[in-house]
Amino acid sequence: MSYVLRTLTKKQEVDSVIRDTIDKVLVLRFGRASDTVCLLLDDFLAKSVREVSKFASVKLVDIDSEDIQVYVKYFDITLIPSTIFFFNAHHMKMDSGTADHTKWVGAFQQKQDFIDVVEAVFRGAMKGKLIVNCPLPPERIPKYQLLYKDV
Amino acid sequence: METGKSRSVTNPNRKINATKQSNGSELKKRKRSQFEFCEVCKLNHDQGQRHKYFPSHTKSLSTFLSRFQNKLSDIRFFLTNPSLLRPEHASLNRFWCVFCERDIDELGSSFACTNTINHLASIDHLKNLKYFLWKYGGGMNSVHNFTISEQDISKWQKKCKSLKSEAVSSTTASRGPLVGPSNDIHNELNYGNVNSFANNNIDYVNLRNSNGVMPLQYHTNEYQVSHSELSEVANVGLFPEDVSSSLPIETNYGTNSKNLNSFIAKRNCQHSQRLADGYLNNYGISQVYQNERMVKGESSSQGSQSLTPIFPMVPDGAGGNVHSGAPPPWFEAIDDSQQDVQLKPVLGSLVSSSIKQGKSKKLNPKRVGAAWAEKRKMEMEMEKRGELVKTGVNANWLPNFGRVWQSGSRKDSRKEFELENQKVSKVENQPVDAVPLKIQPYISKRMQRDASG
């Protein structure tokens, strides 16, 4: 359980957070507090939330909550932790060379990686782009398999 | 070349390479060296050693150095007026030394800026400073501006020692006469407050009016001037939660030698704390007006120097204070500037105004979600003012989201999702386990729909 970051458990809370974060990147981490990778990611998030606070805000969403299942389906969350970026209630995609551009799956290797990613999202959003390129080299991006139709 | 630093720059073979190149092409007049990064101009250039003489560089250098000088002047203030550093504030203090390119924390230091002061007096820093000036051409005679001399540091250390010994040797005797003005809620606090106020009222008033950012320019009260050098542990004494910390205040009182400069402490970290103190000041000031004479009488009986009665320069004090329930001055300031200022509403945090100086206040109108942002800001303003009752957001509201396996625009994706939802709920109520295991085979909604539909 991260004591620094707020964990949201209701859809209404998530909605209000998305709607109320204006002109800042909103980082929503979907995951579970007991999962090790989630904990690693949460640690990085907690440490860097202050540093990115001028252009981003970070919230954690607990996927075990009933309310949130709608979002789990809507955002197609199948692996945790999944991090989704919003800017002004618009979803920001990031092309990091993986199969899923809509979210960031997994943790980061360094705190600075997270900050770089958020910065890239912010810069792209301020320019009007809905999809940005990932600034990290491929070796630092967590790899995963997305299965489609049981393939 | 020094090898002790991890700069990404340069090597002395530049010139050799350059001359080799120019031999190859005689027509080329300009020697091109390898690209290096200039820390001052923050840009990569291939001008080699000539870069530091270019006017653009000299300009950037002067702004760069003057910025650092400003930060140093704060540190120098603490050099002359050491004050105790509370552990909870220590973690907020960091000093970035541009010459050594490292952060200096204040963990485990008992006096404000200890580590920083020690760093600025160290040999390593001097070395780095000289290297920097050589590289970027700041003028070698300005070295003393950026370091702390041995004399200064020894003086400072003596002051620290004396401060410590006073804090240690403080007695409770001085508490006696202070029982008088204790009709207050914050008892220990006001002991400290009253003392300091008797000594140095005007600084509070000044502070309330100014932003409290710069070290206070004392009014020419000769008493204050003569003792302006001595430290203020009063800073510590004003925190209500710590009784023991008010003891140093008593010793101030007893030794009658300290001015209260607490609010100028630590502009970079204790702003919020200071504001809280400023709040308490209002409280204390009114007390002093009532009890001034009593305190004065007592102080003279203590053998302290004569205290001058201070009356508030600004009539503001009568306008409103904590007792009358008036809002604190910083809220009023925010209200005024709210129109111009970009709101950043984050759940559970204060609304802070962010005025970007030097950048245009208008955000890029082409940024993502600009229309939404403007609309939402208006809505929030209205909600704040109470005009628009916050209608519960439709429980089925979904954000704009481009789906993973998607073949249309984002609006389509939302509609698709809603349709799928309806169909799924009609047929069967399958609870989708989000991830019982970390990795789960992905079942596309389409597949589910096809299977069920």
Q: Would the CB atoms of A80 and B400 count as touching at under 8 Å?
A: no
Rg of chain A on CA atoms, in Å = 14
What's the ipTM? 0.75
Q: Would the CB atoms of B400 and A90 count as touching at under 8 Å?
A: yes
d(CA B403, CA A91): 10
Tokens of A67: 């309310």
CB B256 within 8 A of CB B307: no
Q: What is the CB-side half-sphere exposure of residue B24 using CA atoms within 13 A?
A: 7
d(CA B238, CA B261): 12
Looking at beta carbons, which residues of chain B come within 8 Å of A144?
439
Tokens of A114: 């997270």
Q: Would the CB atoms of B434 and A144 count as touching at under 8 Å?
A: no
Alpha-carbon distances of B276 from A3, B208, B284, B330, rounded to whole Å = 25, 11, 12, 11
Looking at beta carbons, which residues of chain B come within 8 Å of A69?
431-432, 434
- How, if at all, do strands A82-87 and A56-62 pair? unpaired
Distance from CA of A129 to the nearest CA of B (A): 6
Q: Would the CB atoms of B345 and A73 count as touching at under 8 Å?
A: no
- Cis peptide before B240, with omega less than 30 degrees from 0? no
Alpha-carbon distances of B129 from A18, B8, B12, B133, rounded to whole Å = 47, 17, 19, 6
* Bridge partners, residue B43, by sequence: B38
The answer on pLDDT for B348 being more than 50 is no
**pLDDT for residue B320:** 62
The answer on pLDDT for B91 being more than 80 is no
**pLDDT for residue A116:** 92
**pLDDT for residue A1:** 47
d(CA B113, CA B148): 13
| Arithmetic mean of pLDDT, B239-244 | 42
**pLDDT for residue A79:** 86
- Residue predicted with more confidence, B139 or B223: B139
Q: Would the CB atoms of A92 and B410 count as touching at under 8 Å?
A: no
Highest mean pLDDT: which of A134-148, B218-232, B355-369, B426-440?
A134-148
d(CA B402, CA B278): 50
Looking at beta carbons, which residues of chain B come within 8 Å of A75?
401
Inter-chain Cβ pairs, chain A and chain B, closer than 8 A = 148
Q: Would the CB atoms of A87 and B395 count as touching at under 8 Å?
A: no
Distance from CA of B232 to the nearest CA of A (A): 31
Q: Would the CB atoms of B402 and A102 count as touching at under 8 Å?
A: yes
* Tens digit of each residue's pLDDT (9 = 90 or more) over B55-67: 999 999 999 889 8
Could you identify the residue written with the tokens 């792209």? A124
In SS3 terms, chain A reads as CCCCCCEECCHHHHHHHHHHCCCCEEEEEEECCCCHHHHHHHHHHHHHCCCCCCCEEEEEEECCCCCCHHHHHHCCCCCCCEEEEEECCEEEEEECCCCCCCCEECCCCCHHHHHHHHHHHHHHHHHCCCEEECCCCHHHCCCCCCCCCCC
Nearest to residue B189, comparing CAs of B302, B87, B270, B276? Answer: B276
The answer on pLDDT for A104 being more than 50 is yes
Q: Would the CB atoms of A20 and B399 count as touching at under 8 Å?
A: no
Instruction: Return the number of other C-beta atoms located less than 10 Å from residue B213's C-beta.
Output: 13
| Arithmetic mean of pLDDT, B150-155 | 86
d(CA B57, CA A141): 38
Distance from CA of B103 to the nearest CA of A (A): 14
Could you identify the residue written with the tokens 């209500």? B240
Q: Is A92 on the interface with B (CB under 8 A)?
A: yes
> Among the listed ranges A82-96, B94-108, B222-236, B315-329, which one has the minimum average pLDDT value?
B222-236
Q: Between vectors from CA B3 to CA B1 and to CA B8, what angle results, nearest 5°?
A: 95
Q: Would the CB atoms of B366 and A128 count as touching at under 8 Å?
A: yes
Q: How confident is the model at residue B236 (pLDDT cuts 50, 70, 90)?
A: very low
To the nearest 10°, the Cα dihedral for B431, B435, B436, B441?
90
Could you identify the residue written with the tokens 């000299």? B58
Mutate to test the interface with A, among B366, B368, B380 (most CBs of A within 10 A): B368
**pLDDT for residue B303:** 47
Distance from CA of B101 to the nearest CA of A (A): 17
CB-nearest to A19 from B376, B434, B447 is B376
CB B417 within 8 A of CB B398: yes
The answer on pLDDT for B73 being more than 90 is no
Q: For A67, name the nearest residue in chain B, comparing CA atoms only.
A: B395
**pLDDT for residue B227:** 47
The answer on pLDDT for A62 being more than 80 is yes
Q: Is A22 on the interface with B (CB under 8 A)?
A: yes
| Farthest CA pair distance, chain B | 95
* Tens digit of each residue's pLDDT (9 = 90 or more) over B170-224: 644 444 444 444 454 554 444 444 444 444 444 444 444 444 455 555 455 544 4
Highest mean pLDDT: which of B172-186, B334-348, B381-395?
B381-395
Q: Is A86 on the interface with B (CB under 8 A)?
A: yes
* Bridge partners, residue A85, by sequence: A27, A92
d(CA B290, CA B293): 8
Calculate what percentage of chain B has a pLDDT beyond 90: 0
Dihedral sign of CA atoms B307, B308, B313, B314 in order = positive
Distance from CA of A115 to the nearest CA of B (A): 18
Q: Is A58 on the interface with B (CB under 8 A)?
A: no
Distance from CA of A91 to the nearest CA of B (A): 5
CB B234 within 8 A of CB B249: yes
